[in-house]
Structure 1
Amino acid sequence: MIDATMTEPPPPPPAPDDRGGVGGDAARLALLDGLFQALPVGLDLRDPHGVAVLRNPAAEAAAAAAPEDLRATREAVTIRGDAYLLTTTVDLAAQRKVEAELFRRAYYDELTGLPNRSHLQHAVEELMERGSGPFALAFVDVDGFKQINDYYGHAVGDAILVKLARRIAAELPAGSLVGRIGGDEFVLLLRETDDVLVAVEALLARLKAPLFAEGHEIFASASVGVSLYPEHGRDYETLRRNADIAMYRVKSGRKGAAALFDEDMRMVAQSRMETEQRLRLAIRDRRFLCAYQPKVDIYTHRTVGLEVLLRWRDEAGFIQPPGEFIGLAVELGMINDISRMVLDETVAALGDIDAAFGCGTSISVNVAAKQAGDIGFMTDFAADLRATGCPERFMVELTEEAFFAKSELQSTVLPLLRGIGTKVSIDDFGVGYSSLSALADLTADEVKIDRSFVTDIHRRPRSQSILKAIESLGQALDMTIIAEGLESFEELTYLTAATTIRHAQGYYFSRPLALDQFTSSRTISYGSSRAAAPARMGAEARTSRTRGR
């Protein structure tokens, strides 16, 4: 109970007693008074003569507020047999401010100030309930935004999102709505459906103009999928999902464009989802096997190394080449588990590899560019290589993308691998990010010339010039050159007669095979009789080129 005559500040609260609480009437009174003073609701207690007996700070503030901003309640109370009038006041202005802030957080994106997912869904459902006629939903995804974040940092990435949001909002026709639903994804609610793709493509053209953030000039683009109400769905989630499906179709082809949803897209998306689920089960059940393709000395026709290539034996027993599933595994973050399986199986097969090819044969394993930039994974992978007891026999093959991405590959990963004796190869060189000048800055042990430069090399003068340039620079930098995709006797003849390249890999020598398909002799060599191989399996070789190795 509060003493109404108290005018001095209460003393500091006493220390807790042995029971963890605060003992004594005076201590409890002090705590109660502290709560009274901190209440956000105004409390004003007056005696029957209207004299103020007790008033807390909230009541003092209410006395100075405008009457329309207050809600007051008065009631008679009896304390120790005496009658008093208690007035409670609530500051409606402060309450409205809190409510407005809660509403903003619930329905607007914190970074851009645009409507969020909940707001958009409510707006779409309201249009449907009112029967306002057809409208379009456009799903917008910024192309390569992760690379912008990784290269320039999240502060620049956030600034770019804010600028893109403003640019989109400025370009929308009247009556439209744009919201950010997460990450680099925006959704547009377009009331006009006539020539909707024309309007969206005009917006995309505007988005490609350069953006300036934190002193950087950055070029960005976006891919858009569009669905129409009621043709492509009669509820928000169906419309959003179908617009998302159309957007992913754009992403898989020509980025920076727009596409209108159709049922064929749904079938493709459903097939992709089924493949994803099957792939997850395959990882769980370890339904993968390794095939090995020799790297051959083209002068002695002896195997000098093996590349380990992954195959997926699906639930029906069919063998799926990596081109059918590796990209999906990388995208879904499942590639790390698969890479560890490949290394485990290869290590388990070392005895058979030695028996077939010799103990000095090097073994190449592929690592995706996304993995190469993951320091945690690469540290663990290097530890796994070290645990084999022969890390110096292994070579890690990385694509050009891994070398030219802004990551710790050059500063951390490559020294880590070299520290355990493992070598590094640049795979598919010449078709990605590389230039000859960039090659001079790389510190790889091996360069594998992409098959596109090797195919029919004997009758393609421009490819011959490129091949000679790569060969010369590789030699100057003390990197081994491997010609990939060698499939004909004529290609082999050109390499031996017109270049100093000593090593090659391809169907001319052997397609990727399981170890038990190779001869059990100590060392395998390939003689001139192999010249007939491309003729016997030319169709298979061409299929391999288009579907992955």
Structure 2
Amino acid sequence: MFNADNSELPTSAGDAPDDDAPAPLLQGRLSPDQATDLAMLKRIVASLPAAVTVQDRDGRFLLVNEAAATQFLLPASDLVRIAPDSPPPSDALLRRREVGIELLRERRSVVCEETVLGADGSRIFRTAHKPVRIAGLDLLLSSATEITDQKLLEQNLFERAYFDELTGLPNRSVIETKANGLLHSEQSFALAFLDLDNFKQINDYYGHAVGDSLLVEFTKRISHNLRSTDMLSRISGDEFLLLLTPVLSRSEVDDYVEFVVQRLRAPFYIDNTELFASASIGVSIYPEHGRTFGELRHNADVAMYQIKNATKGGAVIFDAAMEQEAQQRMQTEQALRRAILDKRFCCAFQPKVEMRTQQVRGIEALVRLRDENGEILAPGSFINLAVELGLIDELTHLVLDEIMQSIDLIDETFGADVSISVNVAAKQACNLAFMTSFTAALAATGCPERFIVEVTEDAFVAKSKFQTEILPMLRQIGVRISIDDFGIGYSSLSALADITADEIKIDRSFITDIHQRPRSQSILRAIESISDALGMTVIAEGVETLEEVLYLQTATRIRYAQGYYFSKPVYLDEIKPVDPIRDELRWAIHGRHPEPARLRPARHYGGGRH
């Protein structure tokens, strides 16, 4: 089986001319019993599923079984004929020779991995090497098992654990580890928090496949021109972290994030669709804005929300004032939760007026929050936060409860035939569970046909269950639907044809100074024509001046309006029923305002709406 010179060698274990004869090197050294045992051993070694080889001090193969021949993609006879001074035919064999010589010289055992490149790709083996001394010879015994499938599985599990499957980006734990490695060094670096703006609306309107493609293209665009030392990470659905290292100055960071902002303004082309997407970016710099990853990430997050709430699609570097605002927001959040628990909400009602007859045709219930000192807070200070925190559902039910508790006073003040509008956020409108419970609550009032649910156009254009499942439930109990703030969302005029609604409220941005704005006048006429064709009542929101009223009366067919010109939101416990409101509206229509001004109460509680 073994031969130390260049004479004829067996091609594999058990492949000598006389399979039961001992190898020439051992002839005369073995007893008959030993020779028999050796013959059996040769057959066993030849049939082992593990790839077994024996090498001498020169790295030459003295024994190669069938599995080892398969491993190295050569017949065993070719392997054992490779002379020590001849170059092996593959890199794998060259490495095996070098390892064998080194391990025998150092008398060291080792377990390692070997890669063999073949026509079908790379195959990986786990190989155990052990020096042995047999019959006075120093030999290296090696046994290898293929682990290619196991390595692929490990790699897959590793990538799933540390890399985002969609974009291929490292996840938060990877970028956190890299950032932690940079802490306590003299080197400054920046951490940017990127939030893709309006991604939910894009996902809802175009579908998740387009949304996923947008994330991939967004990743490519941000990754372009990054240095090898930088890292981009996806940490959640539409949120990314960008590590820039090193940074030499604040101006360098400013220039780079501005470059990213400008780069994102170019449209994305996905499935033959042109999409515009932006990101709000907040940045913190080490060590100025934090000495731990947690502090840096928090401050970058605070800066991102600051710019997102102010101007989406921009970038800003953190400063201490932002932290104060974030703390104020947290205090507002806690106050909101306590207010809902204590039911410290009330409703103000703003009339919808038929301009030509001066009659109140409907009212809109606007929620207000009383703080712990009894002061009234306008909805702009808490409605968006309530939606974000998932508190808006309970708040909407509280509004309905307040309406029904005051229904007699409402009827006395405005008339028993007026409609009552309740605002429902687009997120709520697409929530089947909430809308099912809210529809049941409306039905339980005993007068659901008086109610109008006002939702923004986002609820209609989104590919949600609103039109297919939720709208029929409301229709079945007689509740009408109004499109609120039309014109500021994502839909176009053509989208109106697909919307099933009873009323459309044109946002005040189109109504303000309408008599001086020809382009807004053209848009208004188009909305009016389409709404008429679809049988929807049109209401002009935010009417505040006599000039606006006169234009609407003389230049359009719009009959209904709502705004401070006619009445501020009215608190029922601060006005007298019926006549004062009707008289005040009448004076307002003719532009002659008695004292005290327009309506009681005379004070203004804020201009937000819900």
- For normalisation by structure 2, the TM-score amounts to 0.70
Aligned to 1:481: 538
Q: Is the 8 A contact 1:507 1:534 kept in 2?
A: no
Answer yes or no: is 1:444 the counterpart of 2:498. Answer: no
Distance in 1 between the 2:433 and 2:449 partners? Answer: 21
Aligned to 1:124: 179
Match of 1:357 among 398, 407, 414: 414
Answer yes or no: is 1:532 the counterpart of 2:586. Answer: no
Answer yes or no: is 1:115 the counterpart of 2:170. Answer: yes
Match of 1:172 among 211, 216, 226: 226
Aligned to 1:504: 561
Task: Tell me the CA shift for residue 109 of structure 1.
Answer: 2.9
Deviations 1:3-53 (A, max 9, x none): xxxxxxxxxxxxxxxxxxxxxxxxxxxxxxxxxxxxxxxxxxxxxx6878x
Task: Tell me the CA shift for residue 71 of structure 1.
Answer: 4.6
Q: Could you say what secondary structure the match of 1:525 adopts? A: helix
Question: Taking every aligned residue pair, what percent have the same amino acid on both sides?
Answer: 53
Compared CA separation, residues 515 and 529, structure 1 to 2 (3 A): same
Q: Is the 8 A contact 2:377 2:605 kept in 1?
A: no
Deviations 1:284-306 (A, max 9, x none): 22221111112223333332211
Q: Is the 8 A contact 2:450 2:479 kept in 1?
A: yes
Task: Tell me the CA shift for residue 170 of structure 1.
Answer: 3.5
Distance in 1 between the 2:246 and 2:401 partners? Answer: 57
Compared CA separation, residues 496 and 133, structure 1 to 2 (3 A): closer
Number of aligned residues: 487
Task: Tell me the CA shift for residue 392 of structure 1.
Answer: 0.8
Deviations 1:132-176 (A, max 9, x none): 411111112222222233233334433333343344334202321
1:256-271 map, 5 Å: 256-271=313-328
Aligned to 2:573: 516
Aligned to 1:183: 237
Match of 2:401 among 329, 335, 344: 344
1:346-385 map, 5 Å: 346-385=403-442
Distance in 2 between the 1:471 and 1:156 partners? Answer: 33
Q: Could you say what secondary structure the match of 1:121 adopts? A: helix
Distance in 2 between the 1:455 and 1:98 partners? Answer: 63
Answer yes or no: is 1:315 the counterpart of 2:369. Answer: no
Answer yes or no: is 1:199 the counterpart of 2:253. Answer: no
Answer yes or no: is 1:387 the counterpart of 2:448. Answer: no
Q: Is the 8 A contact 2:345 2:370 kept in 1?
A: yes
Deviations 1:264-321 (A, max 9, x none): 2212222112212221222222221111112223333332211111001112221111
1:40-439 map, 5 Å: 60-61=49-50, 63=52, 64=67, 68=112, 69-71=126-128, 103-129=158-184, 131-193=185-247, 194=249, 195-213=252-270, 216-433=273-490, 435-439=492-496
Task: Tell me the CA shift for residue 355 of structure 1.
Answer: 2.9
Compared CA separation, residues 545 and 492, structure 1 to 2 (3 A): farther
Distance in 1 between the 2:486 and 2:284 partners? Answer: 40
Compared CA separation, residues 137 and 251, structure 1 to 2 (3 A): same
Q: Could you say what secondary structure the match of 2:349 adopts? A: strand
Distance in 1 between the 2:557 and 2:214 partners? Answer: 49
Distance in 2 between the 1:210 and 1:430 partners? Answer: 22
Q: Could you say what secondary structure the match of 1:312 adopts? A: strand
Task: Tell me the CA shift for residue 453 of structure 1.
Answer: 3.9
Q: Is the 8 A contact 1:445 1:480 kept in 2?
A: yes
Q: Could you say what secondary structure the match of 1:532 adopts? A: coil
> In the alignment, residue 257 of structure 1 is paired with which amino acid?
G
Q: Could you say what secondary structure the match of 1:370 adopts? A: helix
Q: Is the 8 A contact 2:415 2:578 kept in 1?
A: no
Q: Is the 8 A contact 1:224 1:247 kept in 2?
A: yes
Distance in 2 between the 1:138 and 1:254 partners? Answer: 17
Q: Could you say what secondary structure the match of 1:315 adopts? A: coil
Compared CA separation, residues 117 and 296, structure 1 to 2 (3 A): same
Distance in 2 between the 1:502 and 1:148 partners? Answer: 35
Task: Tell me the CA shift for residue 473 of structure 1.
Answer: 4.1
Q: Is the 8 A contact 2:378 2:607 kept in 1?
A: no
Q: Is the 8 A contact 2:366 2:609 kept in 1?
A: no
Task: Tell me the CA shift for residue 542 of structure 1.
Answer: 11
Distance in 2 between the 1:229 and 1:547 partners? Answer: 39
Distance in 2 between the 1:284 and 1:361 partners? Answer: 31
Q: Could you say what secondary structure the match of 2:583 adopts? A: coil
Compared CA separation, residues 491 and 207, structure 1 to 2 (3 A): closer
Compared CA separation, residues 205 and 349, structure 1 to 2 (3 A): same
Distance in 1 between the 2:403 and 2:364 partners? Answer: 10
Per mean C-alpha deviation after superposition, the further-off stretch among 202-211 and 394-403 is 202-211
Aligned to 1:11: none
Q: Is the 8 A contact 2:567 2:598 kept in 1?
A: no
Distance in 2 between the 1:334 and 1:149 partners? Answer: 23
Per mean C-alpha deviation after superposition, the further-off stretch among 438-447 and 98-107 is 98-107
Task: Tell me the CA shift for residue 363 of structure 1.
Answer: 0.6
Q: Is the 8 A contact 1:204 1:221 kept in 2?
A: yes
> In the alignment, residue 449 of structure 2 is paired with which amino acid?
E
- For normalisation by structure 1, the TM-score amounts to 0.77
Q: Is the 8 A contact 2:187 2:246 kept in 1?
A: no
Q: Is the 8 A contact 1:417 1:423 kept in 2?
A: yes
Q: Is the 8 A contact 2:377 2:606 kept in 1?
A: no
Aligned to 1:42: none
Task: Tell me the CA shift for residue 114 of structure 1.
Answer: 2.3
* Unaligned residue ranges in structure 1 (runs of 5+): 1-48, 74-88
Deviations 1:238-266 (A, max 9, x none): 11111111222222233233211111221
Per mean C-alpha deviation after superposition, the further-off stretch among 312-321 and 509-518 is 509-518
Computing the radius of gyration over CA atoms, which structure comes out larger, 1 or 2? 2
> In the alignment, residue 340 of structure 1 is paired with which amino acid?
H
Q: Is the 8 A contact 2:197 2:280 kept in 1?
A: yes
Distance in 2 between the 1:435 and 1:216 partners? Answer: 16
Deviations 1:426-475 (A, max 9, x none): 22234444554444543321222333444445555555555455444433
Q: Is the 8 A contact 2:453 2:481 kept in 1?
A: yes
Task: Tell me the CA shift for residue 218 of structure 1.
Answer: 3.9
Task: Tell me the CA shift for residue 362 of structure 1.
Answer: 1.0
Per mean C-alpha deviation after superposition, the further-off stretch among 487-496 and 189-198 is 487-496
Distance in 2 between the 1:491 and 1:210 partners? Answer: 38
Distance in 2 between the 1:448 and 1:96 partners? Answer: 62
Distance in 2 between the 1:459 and 1:424 partners? Answer: 31
Q: Could you say what secondary structure the match of 2:205 adopts? A: helix
> In the alignment, residue 426 of structure 1 is paired with which amino acid?
I
> In the alignment, residue 502 of structure 2 is paired with which amino acid?
D
Task: Tell me the CA shift for residue 232 of structure 1.
Answer: 0.7
Q: Is the 8 A contact 1:485 1:507 kept in 2?
A: yes
> In the alignment, residue 215 of structure 2 is paired with which amino acid?
L
Aligned to 2:61: none
Q: Is the 8 A contact 2:528 2:558 kept in 1?
A: yes
Distance in 2 between the 1:364 and 1:159 partners? Answer: 40
Per mean C-alpha deviation after superposition, the further-off stretch among 440-449 and 379-388 is 440-449
Distance in 2 between the 1:454 and 1:368 partners? Answer: 23
> In the alignment, residue 138 of structure 1 is paired with which amino acid?
A
